[in-house]
Each structure stands twice: as structure tokens, then as C-alpha cells.
Amino acid sequence: MEQFKGYTYVDGGVCAAKGFQANGLNCGLNSDKNKNDLALVVSDCLCNTAAVYTTNKVKGAPILVTKKHLEVTGGKTKAVIANSKNANTCNADGEEKASMMASLTAKQLGIAKEEVIVASTGVIGQILPIEPIAEHMEELVKGLSYDGNDKATNAIMTTDTVPKQVAVSFEVDGVICTLGGMAKGSGMIHPNMATTLNFVTTDMAISVELIAKALSEVTKITYNCLSIDGDTSTNDMVCVMANGLAGNAEITEEGNAYEAFKQALYIVMMNMTKMLAKDGEGATKLIECTVSKAKDLDTAIIVAKSVIRSPLFKCAIFGEDANWGRILCAVGYAEAEFDINKVDVDLASAKGVLPVCRNGAGVEFSEEFAKELLSEDEIMVNITLNEGEATAKAWGCDLTYDYVKINGDYRS
């Protein structure tokens, strides 16, 4: 992982920060008894909370319920209940079932149901059976622990092949704070907001308003710059919970302390974004596209995202073919204004750097070296627009035969 001065990576994911417990178990939604399907994250005290959601017009019932809860409490929550295998979306009784999940959780914890965030992921359009969840809620709560993050992370995975967790510690005004998260996602991933289920916890004391501001700004340059397949999910959510147990003075205005929090949020969300990209369904390679020297941030983001979501370019990376024309094609149809005759493109990996385009035109290169460079499992595309100082990154993966296989029988 990329190192950032003043920030130290630590273990624990959503349990890394003080005062957060978690658990996960198999309640029966998933027929594979070795796979957890129900997760719970609980704070020892009320948290200031903010969230962002999918922009898909079809929204999962858990999102609708969670939004109502945050509105009622003014951004005060204490727990997250989440299930996999069933998205609880496009169901006539969806909101009722999502509300019941919150009520069942609240009853066991002795809190208000509005203090519970609800999330679901899995197959769309299938009725969510509430009975397995109800029958296992007591066991789920009794099993909560301050190192239960692995069980919870496993429970939100669907076609994911690896768990996704990151946490960092850092100092603010002489106080050590920690921020960590867990994420799930492998397919049906595309901006905008968000891209998957993502839960972030911190023991820092910070206002709801500033959490919301930082989350919006960081989401723009991390999760919203991620694309696996061009499909924006119906259940995407990112929530950030801050319980204040680190003991710092609550951050209520922008300044150095706020910037420290925002940077920690960026580190965690950026790393989870890369994990999501690398674990794209059927993926064999992570692709990171960096656009630099753009006239503004939005232009850099638009161009980077245009390249990362090009099916033809993704196929070329799978085939380890340095077909740079597909990159320039995607740059060319990006909905932004710039001079294509100033554009430079390099391909890079652990094997080195390969210039393929200068001033909008191809340059000679070794096909043999290109093949060697593209044989790595992490490929960088570096695009220089030569019109300003703004830089942005976007992340994706190659498009493989296995992606079609996985999505051809997703429900089975």
C-alpha cells in the first residue's frame, strides 16, 4: 500500500477504531454454511454519521430506510446491520423488511431502530425472508467482539474473492485517532455514487456536517472513479460513523484537524477502491489510469474514467496487447474540452515504463517489451494533457472470459 506521511496502517478494519464491535454469521440466506451472510457493526456510544448512496433511480429498500433514519436522528447512529445473498430491491415488501431488520437489531441492542443503518446486497427482485435474520439476531449480538471485523467483512461478500479492509492511525492535536473500513464489491460497479457497500468507522470526534463534506469530496475522487463493468448498482452505499472515543476536541470547522480526518478518509477509501477494482469479477489485472496536467480536476476525472471504462481497452489489457489507439479513442470521446494534439500516453508496470504516444501521435516501441510490461497484474496508464496542473486517478480491471461466466449464472 502507498505510504502517507503521518499515517500508519493498522489491522482491524471497522474494529480498528476504539469502541467498535462487529460480528458475522451464516443465518441461512446463503446455502453455503461456510459463508457468512449476516453482519453487524456496533459502536459503544452514539456516532455522528453521514452517508452517500447510489444515483440509480432504482434504489434498494435498505437505502430508503437508512436515509429516513438519518433524517430522523439528525445523523446519529449506533449500529449497522447488513446481509448478503439478497439485495431486497424491487420488492413490494422491501421497505417493511428493511425496517424489520432495523427493529430486530435495535431490540437486541436496546436502542432506537432509527439508530440502525440497514444494508443489503445480492440478487435483485427476490423476496427477502426475514425469518432467518430474526432467528439469528440474538446469536449475532451475543457474538459481538472488538476483533470481529473479519467475520463481518466475510458476511457482506458476494462474488468477491477476497475480503477488503483498511485502517490507519494518525495524530490530531496530540491525540491518536484511528479510521478504518470494510467494503464489498466485484461486479455491477460503476459511478456515480457510490459503487458498492462500504462502511467506515472512526473514533475521532467530528461533526455530522464535516463528515458529510469530507465524504462527498473524497467519494468524488475515489469510489466515483471506479468502474468494473459500466453498471451502477441499486444498493450502493458508503457510510461513515464517528463515535468520538479517541478524545480529541470535536472538529466543528475546517482547519488542520479537519484536513487530517479528510486525508485519513481518502487513504482508506482509495485503498478500498483499488481492492474493489483488482477483485472485479473475473479480473486478472488491476488498471490504474492517472491523468495529469489537466486544466482542472473535473477534466482530469472525466478523461481518466473514460479510459478505465472502455470495454475495448479492458479487453486489450486482458490480452496483454499494447493497443494504445484504444486509449486515445477513449480519451477522444471523453466529454471534456482539451487539445488532443498535446496528449502524451505511457504504459507502466513493475517491469518499467513504455511511451506509446506523444502529442497525440504514436511513437515506435518494442512489442516484445510491451508484452513483458503488460504481463504484470497491475497496469498503469499515465496520460498527460499538458494544459494545466490538475491530476486525477481512476481504477478498473481487465474484461475477461470469466466475467461472462460469472454473470451468466449469477442467480444460481
Q: Which residues are catalytic?
A: 195
**DSSP characters for 12-23?**
-GGGSSTTEEEE
| Core vs surface per residue 263-301: b (16+ CB within 10 A) or e | bbbbbbbbbbbbbbbbbbbbbebbbbbbbbbbbebebbb
Best CA proximity match to 281, nearest among 312, 303, 314: 314
At 253, the amino acid letter reads E
- Give how far Cα 307 sits from Cα of 15, 226, 300, Å: 36, 11, 11
H/E stretch holding 328: helix 324-332
- Give how far Cα 131 sits from Cα of 10, 100, 117, 358, 367, Å: 37, 10, 19, 62, 59
Cell, residue 214: 469530507
Peptide bond into 271 cis (omega under 30): no
| Core vs surface per residue 195-234: b (16+ CB within 10 A) or e | bbbbbbbbbbbbbbebbbebbeebbbbbbbbbbbbeebbb
Q: Phi/psi at 336 (nearest 5 deg)?
A: -150, 160
CA distance 152 to 12: 11
Q: E strands of 185-319, at which residues? A: 197-202, 237-242, 286-294
CA distance 221 to 192: 11
State whether residue 349 is helix, strand or coil.
strand
CA distance 44 to 114: 16
Q: Phi/psi at 384 (nearest 5 deg)?
A: -115, 120
DSSP 158: S
The helix-helix angle for 297-308 and 208-221 (nearest 10°) equals 50
